[in-house]
Amino acid sequence: MRSSTGVKTSTPLVVSKASELRQVVAAWRQQHLTVGLVPTMGALHAGHASLIRAAAAENDRTVVSIFVNPLQFGAGEDFESYPRPFEKDRQLARELGAAAIYAPSPGEMYRPGAATRVRVSGLSDVLEGVSRPGHFEGVATVVAKLFNASRPDRAYFGQKDAQQVAVVRRLASDLDTGIEIRVCPIVRDVDGLALSSRNAYLNTEEREAALALSRALRSANSAFLKGERDPGQLRRLLQDTLREEPRANVDYADVVDPVDFAGPGQLAVLAVRIGRTRLIDNHQLGEPFAAALSG
């Protein structure tokens, strides 16, 4: 059977234990099949779809993990309210060609007494790491466990979480995983807002206010294309544009090196609260803006 996207589909296996997933992948390996992994926290949208679509195109079998990772959430964050529409997610994964869904429980992922955490030093201590202490330790730990459970050839991440991408790349390299980290472009709505599961929290007025993020990135990018190279000036352009929106509470707005996120570079990064919703976005200055749109 083929979906409306033209992808040959079948009902994906749903497994909840790492041991079961390893058995599934081992059977694929005996057939000399390649494996792609798409780690997600569910609430799948067109951005996730682009990752699953890329994995299905580049590998013989695709595993989509759906796990709302408690270690990534700090005190007062939205772990309990984070959307969990599993049946909808399973249907979308099927339509996009996923062969298996790995959906462990928190107790399966972190068994009682588990004491091991994975930390990527340096990258975990700036920007998002400062704003969300322990966040990247949670990311690195769950990604390492997902890699061990699925043992993929390639793993797929979205550019919207740029600092997370840098952390995962360093983890994969430092631990000699042999896994290729594939990064897919940000998917934006037709008005420029980067797609995020948290966009569902925004009311109508907040949704409009959230467009300040893409306006700020466009402003800095326009200046860069006209020859501006001073990181301080580019940073001020980001901040000044965001200040024009009264609902925007800026956590950070900076221009950094996309590898270490410490020194100056050409990656414009933002974290902004609109109402109670925290949004992030980024853009590599000098590159075309919003090449891929949803809708």
- Using the predicted structure, report yes or no on whether residue 291 has a pLDDT greater than 60: no
Q: Give percent of the chain with pLDDT exceeding 70.
A: 95
Quickly list H helices, the chain: 18-30, 46-58, 86-95, 106-109, 128-131, 135-150, 162-174, 204-209, 211-225, 231-243
Provide the pLDDT for residue 16.
Answer: 98
- Alpha carbon distance 77, 69 (integer Å): 12
* Least confident stretch, 2-6, 88-92, 127-131: 2-6
Closest CA to 292 of 159, 174, 162, 166: 159
pTM: 0.94
Query: Is the pLDDT score of 183 beyond 70?
Result: yes
- The answer to whether the beta carbons of residues 1 and 87 sit under 8 Å apart is no
Please tell me the predicted confidence (pLDDT) of residue 3: 45
Cα dist. 287→32, 34, 224, 254, 266 in Å?
A: 38, 32, 10, 17, 10
Question: What's the confidence (pLDDT) of residue 254?
Answer: 97
**Domains along the chain with CATH numbers:** 13-184 (3.40.50.620), 197-284 (3.30.1300.10)
Is pLDDT above 80 for 293?
no
Q: What is the mean predicted confidence (pLDDT) over 144-172?
A: 98
User: Which residues are tagged catalytic?
Assistant: 48
**pLDDT for 149-162, tens place per residue?**
999 999 999 999 99
On the question of pLDDT at 225 being above 80, the answer is yes
The Cα 286–Cα 187 span in angstroms is: 18
- Could you read off the pLDDT of 6-52 as tens digits, one per residue? 445 578 999 999 999 999 999 999 999 999 999 999 999 999 999 99
The tokens of 176 are what?
């000699």
